[in-house]
A and B are shown apart, each in its own frame.
Chain A
Amino acid sequence: MTEVNPIVIETHNLSKNYDGVQALTNLNLKVRKNSIFGFLGPNGAGKTTTIKLLLGLINPTEGGGVIFDRNITRESIQVRQRVGYLPQNPEFYENMTARQILEFSLKFYYQGSHEAIQNRIEEILKLVELEDKANRPIKGYSGGERQRLGIGQSVIHKPDLLILDEPTASLDPIGRHSVLNLMTKLQEETTIFYSTHILDDVQRVSDTVAILNHGKLVAQGAIQELIAGKEGIIYTVKIKNASERIQKSLLKQQWITDIQSEISENAQKWYINISDEDQAEKNLLRLLLKDDNVSITEFYRKKYELEDIFLKVIEEDEDVSK
């Protein structure tokens, strides 16, 4: 499904150098329509720089990119016509109310009767749950309310692409939950490209991710592919009285590619690499229990979290850099 969707964002060797400091190097990104694309990386990895380049707020030193087939440098205004943006720490005119900010934002894109404008503002206020505070100056807003208003102003014109820079970074768990729910709701109507370093959020709502480190793209793909593709399927077995014979007989199976073992509390812990998921499900436990002396105290398929993948990819990149 994801593969057939057209590409919304595509960059080619996008690079940015700030007075001798290389912030981004040869970034080649592809973001498909209607995906929730998580743009991951540690602080200072170049996430915000990338977003600013996409929006034309800064100019690339090399390379370039297109959004909706429009050049991000030369046709930035046309690009921004179809994009909604939430900055990392949204700052608005403090004396204005949420209603005024939304009206101001809408009028960059649309004109219409007072009633039509107010109707759209009401829809957004309801979406971001700020109806009660719509007429209060923003200077009294909490971080979460400010963030929700930020999302509101970014979607007021029903953009085809929503770019969110660390949308949950400064929020408490309730605020985070509410923003992530909002993002899931919005996915039906738009493509969401968002940067974050909160891996739980990405695993919860994203379908595709890219990992950036020191300004370089170190991984990109669908989350499930990324997780599965990194180390393959591994079964963990805690086994007592295991003989070498069992290990040899296991390794004779074509669908078992490797076994690593370690001693753990008077038992052995085996990590069995599998190439065929179905064969493993049907036969692995049976093969292990063929020997009557063996007792098995743990048997499970190792589950990877995005965090494992993220840390591994970053560590590998750090090693290569050294």
Chain B
Amino acid sequence: MSQNEQLVPIKSKWNGFLNILFIELNDWWKGSDWLVMTLIWIGIGNGITALTALGAPDIDLPTMINIFFLFLGFFPPIATILVMQDSIVGEKRSGTISWLLSKPVSRRSFILAKWLGNSINLLTCIVLIPCIIGYLEFFLLTGELLSLSNYLAGIGIVTINQLFFIGLTLYLGTVMETPGGVAALPMIFNFAQQFLQSIPYAIYVLPMSLILNQTGNSIVVSIILNQTPFTLIPILTTSLFVILFLLLAIWKFENTDL
């Protein structure tokens, strides 16, 4: 058929990945989910910081940054877990996963597309937009302009914290069969971290050390303020956990009967 001669068979290994990634992005951005999520975290991160600053005019910039990144580091994993709990399990339960994987797409591509799609969606709304507003907010409230490179490095550190929870819930989605099962462990872990930090040496492996230090500035705040952080090890360990969860999710999913 002449009209179909324009259709060319796809040879690229990445095609299935891009197709699924497109669905993940399209599903999030075409509706109102992204707007609701963004407004919530602007309200929590930027709103609370602004109210605190306006309520206490003598507040200094480091305290404001501490408040902002504490709210943007500690609470957003809850939203991440709630969004991610259904990402794999929902497809398993509805049966769409068998349909999708009957197409010429590898399981690795499926997991990577889910990971990247959800990371882009969540990080943009939870981290990137509030942080951009935060940069302007700090300037407006204090008249001080933060170092852009340091601030971007700070955003990177908060991102790693979120990626930890995205990776963990993604992996658990390949193991568990119910959304509740997926959400329970990361949720408990997120809240338990503040107690776990009191265990000797635990601060070096817990992702919370990136955004909360009970004896001084957290790593993210120190970097933004151009100070020497109390340690850089949690950046490395959390990054390794992110990679580990992704590899585990791929391995588990490739060995699962659907």
A residues neighboring B (CB under 8 Å): 18, 52, 55-59, 77-78, 80-81, 83, 85, 87, 89-93, 95, 104-113, 115-117, 119-120, 123
Asked if A107 and B15 make an inter-chain contact with CB atoms under 8 angstroms apart, the answer reads yes
Residues of B within 8 A of A57 (CB): 98, 101-102, 257-258
A115 to chain B, nearest CB (A): 7
Q: How far is the CA of A93 from the CA of B7 in the complex (A)?
A: 25
Closest residue of A by beta carbon distance from B102:
A85
Q: Tell me which of B78-86, B103-111, B226-234 binds A.
A: B103-111
Of B4, B9, B27, the residue contacting A116 (CB under 8 A) is: B4
Q: How far is the CA of A52 from the CA of B10 in the complex (A)?
A: 24
B residues neighboring A (CB under 8 Å): 1, 3-10, 15-16, 19, 23, 27, 94-96, 98-99, 101-106, 255, 257-258
Q: How far is the CA of A104 from the CA of B113 in the complex (A)?
A: 15
Residues of B within 8 A of A104 (CB): 19, 23
Q: How far is the CA of A52 from the CA of B105 in the complex (A)?
A: 15
Asked if B4 and A87 make an inter-chain contact with CB atoms under 8 angstroms apart, the answer reads no
Of B10, B103, B104, the residue contacting A111 (CB under 8 A) is: B10
Residues of B within 8 A of A107 (CB): 10, 15, 19
Residues of A within 8 A of B9 (CB): 109-110
Of B6, B27, B96, B102, the residue contacting A113 (CB under 8 A) is: B6
Count of chain A to chain B residue pairs whose CB atoms are closer than 8 Å in the complex? 87
Asked if A116 and B104 make an inter-chain contact with CB atoms under 8 angstroms apart, the answer reads no
B113 to chain A, nearest CB (A): 12
Residues of B within 8 A of A81 (CB): 104
Asked if B10 and A80 make an inter-chain contact with CB atoms under 8 angstroms apart, the answer reads no
Q: List 16 A-B contacts (CB under 8 A).
A: A55-B102, A56-B101, A57-B257, A58-B257, A80-B103, A81-B104, A85-B99, A85-B102, A87-B98, A87-B102, A91-B99, A93-B27, A105-B103, A111-B7, A111-B10, A117-B7
Residues of A within 8 A of B99 (CB): 85, 87, 90-92
A249 to chain B, nearest CB (A): 63
B199 to chain A, nearest CB (A): 38
Closest residue of B by beta carbon distance from A55:
B102
Q: How far is the CA of A92 from the CA of B99 in the complex (A)?
A: 8
Of B3, B6, B96, the residue contacting A92 (CB under 8 A) is: B96
Residues of A within 8 A of B27 (CB): 93, 95
Asked if A110 and B7 make an inter-chain contact with CB atoms under 8 angstroms apart, the answer reads yes
Asked if A109 and B257 make an inter-chain contact with CB atoms under 8 angstroms apart, the answer reads no
Q: How far is the CA of A78 from the CA of B10 in the complex (A)?
A: 12
